[in-house]
Copies of this chain bind each other. A is one copy, B any other.
Amino acid sequence: MEQRVIDTLRRVFELNGFIGIETRAVEQGSSLLKKGETSKEIYLLSRLQEVGQENDTPIEDRLGLHFDLTVPLSRYVVEHSGDLAFPFKRWQIQKVWRGERPQEGRFREFVQADIDVVGNGDLPEHYEVELPLVMVSALEQLRAYGLPKATVHANNRKLSEGFYRGLGLSDVEGVLREIDKLDKIGADEVAKLLVETCGADEAQARACLELAELTAADGKELSSKFDALCEAHGIAADSEAYQLARQGLDTLAMIVDEAARIRPGAVIADLKIARGLDYYTGSVYETFLDGAASLGSICSGGRYDNLASQGSRKYPGVGLSIGLSRLVSYMLHSAGAHASRVSPASVLVAVWDEEDRPASNLIANALRARGIAADVAPTAAKLGKQIKYADKLGIPYVWFPADKAGEGAGDEVKNIVTGEQTAADAQSWEPDTVYAQQTVEI
């Protein structure tokens, strides 16, 4: 299941010109942690031979497992900046680890699927609409496995920050943290928290909520509703705060309009989207599935102008990340997909007698040479037992080699689902259904 999902995503990413990279799972502590940071959920490594002496080494010099694919991308871009063609578009699907206590529905080891585009010095704005659209078209491909429709909710950090500052609120991070709780605890509770923890008065709190709840059909409506809101709350069009908000608004309006033209309904403006403020500097995205609000965002990201730097050189980026393990887990439990521990083989070649095994092997090899996955019965057991083995493995056909298939009969093949049995030639036979190659997980 997971392997098929990965293959599907990879195909879409490559169709869109993203280059696949793979980075080592083990990074230096100094890359994983900003100086002094100790709250991150990171696994550090110790060699078995060094147990008991680990703490002689400062954390920066120890090794740890990467907890996302952004930190490794940042290292990669700096290390290879001389060789890369910028903007550098990369996809990366790998395991990441979080050193957290395992809980229901949380994994300490999971797969993420990321796309990012990284510029050298600058990065055109059009990527801020293109990348979410690539993710939407990738998720669209997964609807074949029962995934509901996905919608990207976009916002812009500059828009929020400019508006809050225009209102006279300086704890921008605090306001966003409370606004982020809107869906969970409702407007009244959020208003209370804004007053209690962010120094807002009633009117400011209400204004923040009005912004969060603003909806618009297109960029033009978004723009005029925002301006009306600013006017209502006394944010002057020539103020610095408004100018900042306006930058974010223009980008968001562009994203919404462009996306609507290319794929209507795929990307909407949602002014309550917050996301890691310390990290993103412009657009932010979260992605929700129809009828699966409780799952939360399955694909998030944004623009970060300071992904990496080398001296005065900056590498801005835009990226989105799918939490693949969680998504696959949802698909298996709720979306009607199922994990199957089935053989990739389309056909099991029966063995009449251990001495006839070479004949059965020849048939299997002839089928494989033509791209048809084939297995050979493990023992020359009774025919019923061989068919049962195929059935347990989900192999739909059993092949009976000629010499003992019956009085003077040639090779025959039986569809064990329908019971139909026909003459067959290993040089030309084709299964009715091409059974997908499948991979199972633990």
Number of A positions contacting B (CB below 8 A): 86
Residue of B nearest to A100 (CB): B47
A203 in the interface, Cβ–Cβ < 8 Å? no
Interfacial chain B residues near A16, Cβ < 8 Å: 368, 373-375
Which of A81-89, A158-166, A284-292 faces chain B? A81-89
Chain B residues near A24 (CB-CB < 8 A): 109, 442
Contacts known (A375-B17, A440-B21); A392 close to B47, Cβ less than 8 A: no
Chain B's closest residue to A367 (CB) is B15
Report yes or no: A99 in contact with B374, Cβ–Cβ below 8 A: no
Residues of B within 8 A of A83 (CB): 341
Mask, A331-342, CB within 8 Å of B = 1, is 000000000011
Q: Which one, B2, B43, B372, contacts A46 given CB within 8 A? A: B43
Q: What residue of chain B has the Cβ atom nearest to residue A441's Cβ?
A: B22
Find out whether the CB atom of B109 lies under 8 angstroms from the CB atom of A17: no
Stretch at the interface among A50-58, A184-192, A418-426: A50-58
A59-B48 contact given A15-B371, A341-B84, CB 8 Å threshold = yes
What are the residues of chain B within 8 A of A343 when measuring CB–CB? 17, 19, 85, 89
Contact B126 A357 (CB under 8 A): yes
Q: Do the beta carbons of A442 and B21 come within 8 Å of each other?
A: yes
| Interface residue A25 (Cβ < 8 Å from any Cβ of B) | yes
A49 beta carbon closer than 8 Å to chain B? yes
| Residues in chain B near residue A368, CB distance under 8 A | 15-16
Cα–Cα distance between A40 and B374 once the two chains are bound (Å) = 39
A42 beta carbon closer than 8 Å to chain B = yes
Interface residues of A in 115-144 (CB under 8 A from B): 119, 124, 126, 130
Q: Does A237 belong to the interface (CB within 8 Å)?
A: no
Interface string of A368-402 (1 = CB under 8 A from B): 10011111101100000000010011010000000
Cβ of A108 within 8 Å of any chain B Cβ, yes or no, is yes
The residue that A21 contacts in the complex, of B25, B40, B376, B441, with Cβ under 8 A, is B441
Chain B residue with Cβ nearest A439: B20
7 residue pairs of the A-B complex, CB under 8 angstroms, read A3-B22, A10-B437, A38-B49, A44-B48, A47-B99, A89-B375, A262-B361
A residues whose Cβ falls under 8 Å from a Cβ of B: 2-3, 10, 14-26, 33, 38, 40-49, 51-52, 54-55, 59, 63-65, 76, 80, 83-85, 87, 89, 95, 97, 99-100, 108-109, 119, 124, 126, 130, 258, 261-262, 341-345, 348, 354, 357-358, 361, 365, 368, 371-376, 378-379, 389, 392-393, 395, 437-442
